[in-house]
Amino acid sequence: MKRFLTVLVLIAVAASTLPAAAAPQMVLRLGETHVADYPTTRGDMEFSRLVEERTGGRIRIEVYHSKQLGEEKAVIEQVQFGAIDFTRVSISPLAAFAPAFDALQMPYLYRDEEHMWKVLNGPIGEEFLNSLEPANFVGLCWYDSGARNFYNSRREIKSVADLKGLKIRVQESKLMMGLVSALGAVPTPMPFGEVYSALQTGVIDGAENNWPSYFSTSHYEVAKYFTLDGHTRVPEILIASKMTMDKLSKEDQDIIRQAAKDSMPYQIKLWKEYEKVSEEKVTAAGSIITHLSPEAVSAFQKAMEPLYSELKPELQEVVKKIREVQ
Ligand code: BDP
């Protein structure tokens, strides 16, 4: 018994002298709209894992997925004021806080996916990440979001004319409202989380998104006509609150920036896999997938051209530079 007690005392002493590695010195929060297994959420988790590993556990970033901290617009506002430390969002709602971002999400802007990544990973993308500081954000990295397409519960969309009069939900973005109006449909801005029931009750006829979001939200259950028009590629972005970053040492800021960049290949790989899975699942569930003829695609592009002339001259310059990237 005496020996047993001595051992216990020794264990207690040893435990009390252990380095503090197990207890993080700083716990930060990241808000994410998507569910736990969605590629952006898994990218956030990889970012968090790398930060924890590289700071020896001093900094822990907790990922609150599935809108636990709120819908995108509200979360962006809180990041701006330092109440939430990080978020991963679509650049569409972010453009309300940093209008130049509209230049990166114009319809049919990129020739293809490779072109988009050249732009984002090159000097233009870097400039955009750095441009957020006056708005009190720090841009960290980009994630993949594929291309967005229209879907609805009423009819197959084979041409621009088929969209006429349909009520289409858009993100809380002026540009997206203009885009839907340019096609003769009626834009209805609404938070992401309200779209399923709005489709189900007929408050809206349709929405637009990529394969993974169409699948993961179950929108395919209530809007089975999906047209592959690929009107936009809207990158995802990981941002930090400038207030949070300003509290950290230069070394920790660098660790965070690098960890974000290093989480990109992982997110992009998962994205590709999840795009395929989503396409298979919604097709098996009975969605009607419509491929557009080249003429129909040209008509979509033509209908959206006025959006380019409505852009501010400085953003038209950015668009020109993006198009020049080879
Ligand atoms: C998804 C984005 C998400 C957006 C959502 C939407 O990943 O961040 O909020 O679209 O349409 O593709 O609101």
Report the distance separating Cα 248 and Cα 291, nearest Å. Answer: 50
189 CA distance to ligand 1 middle (Å)? 12
Report the distance separating Cα 241 and Cα 174, nearest Å. Answer: 24
Percent helix, strand and coil across the chain, each to the nearest 5:
55, 20, 30
Whole-angstrom CA distances from 253 to 32, 55, 138 are 21, 11, 10
Query: Residue 3's pLDDT is what?
Result: 57
Give the atom of ligand 1 at the shortest distance from the alpha carbon of 40.
7
- Predicted TM-score of the model (pTM): 0.93
Give the atom of ligand 1 at the shortest distance from the alpha carbon of 38.
7
Query: Residue 6's pLDDT is what?
Result: 53
207 CA distance to ligand 1 middle (Å)? 11
Report the distance separating Cα 101 and Cα 106, nearest Å. Answer: 9
90 CA distance to ligand 1 middle (Å)? 6
33 CA distance to ligand 1 middle (Å)? 8
Instruction: Show Cβ contacts of residue 198 under 8 Å, excluding neighbours closer than 6 positions.
Output: 169, 188, 190, 204
15 CA distance to ligand 1 middle (Å)? 46
Report the distance separating Cα 268 and Cα 274, nearest Å. Answer: 10
- Taking CA atoms only, the protein residue closest to ligand 1 atom 5 is 192
Give the atom of ligand 1 at the shortest distance from the alpha carbon of 209.
12
CA-based Rg of the chain, rounded to a whole angstrom?
A: 23
Query: Residue 13's pLDDT is what?
Result: 47
Which of 79, 91, 92, 150 has most ligand 1 atoms within 8 Å of CB, for mutation? Answer: 92
Give the atom of ligand 1 at the shortest distance from the alpha carbon of 88.
8
| Regions of the chain short of the pLDDT cut 70 | 1-22
- Taking CA atoms only, the protein residue closest to ligand 1 atom 3 is 90
Burial tier of 190 (Cβ tally within 10 Å: 0-12, 13-18, 19+): middle
The set of protein residues with a Cβ atom below 6 angstroms from ligand 1 is 33, 40, 72, 89-90, 145, 171, 192, 209-210, 213, 236
